[in-house]
Amino acid sequence: MKFADRERVYGLDEYYWGTEPNGMAEKTTEIASQANSGITAIDVGAGEGRDAVFFAEQGWNVYALEVSPNGLAKAERLANEREVPLQTIEADANDATFPEAVDVVYSAGAIQYIRPENRDRQFDHFKQKTTADGIHAMFAFVDHPDVPTAPDWTEREYFYARGELMEYYRDWEVIESEEIIFDDNSGGEPHRHAAEILFARKPN
């Protein structure tokens, strides 16, 4: 989604992505809660905050990192409505830095904005700022021969090669990895996406 379009839809009263967490966020809490207490998490590309607020509702200390000011305002509004604390950071995923070491790094639909030449640096930073036994939950759009590029794909979004996401975590324990193809209607025109979802744990 283009920045201006995102600001427009995030500036509306209703929540473009809804207010309930997606399945990836729910699975992240299941995995992370098995080994950690007093969890600090960061949601990279938090959008309007639905997943970040869900994490806060679990008692986690949560940072919502997002490039959109309107998205962060909605995230803060949702956190206030749910009566949970939430720390927001306005930053671009291309050069974002974490304010402290975290136990969970979560990103569902934002790392495609990290330019290919920046990926090694950014993934290294994300990994270095993760505590031992910490969890990463990552969703990456991938270039798939059977899936045409979506009509709302922008010039500032970059596909991952199939299997590329796994390469950034070859020195970590991969808990689960899957490739999915799913239908989408964002932008008002039905289309499909191919993506990979990865859950990985940092070695102790």
Residue 186 maps to which CATH number?
Answer: 3.40.50.150
Amino acid identity at 16:
Y
Report helix angle 69-82 to 3-10, nearest 10.
30
Work out the mean pLDDT of the chain and round it to a whole number. 93
Model pLDDT, residue 184 = 87
The answer to whether 160 touches 142, Cβ cutoff 8 Å, is yes
CA atoms in the 13 A half-sphere facing the CB of 143: 6
Per-residue model confidence (pLDDT) at position 64 = 98
Structural domain count, the chain: 1
Question: Phi, psi at residue 170, to the nearest 5°?
Answer: -65, -20
d(CA 178, CA 160): 14
pLDDT in tens, 110-150: 999 999 999 999 999 999 999 999 999 999 999 999 999 99
Measured in residues, the chain has a length of 204
Q: What b/e readout covers 74-94, taking b as 16+ CB neighbours within 10 angstroms?
A: bbbbbbeeeebebbbbeeebe
Contact 107, 138 (CB under 8 A): yes
Provide the residue range defining the domain that includes 119.
Answer: 3-201
Beta strands 87-90; 173-184: pairing state: unpaired
| pLDDT tens for each residue of 81-109 | 999 999 999 999 999 999 999 999 999 98
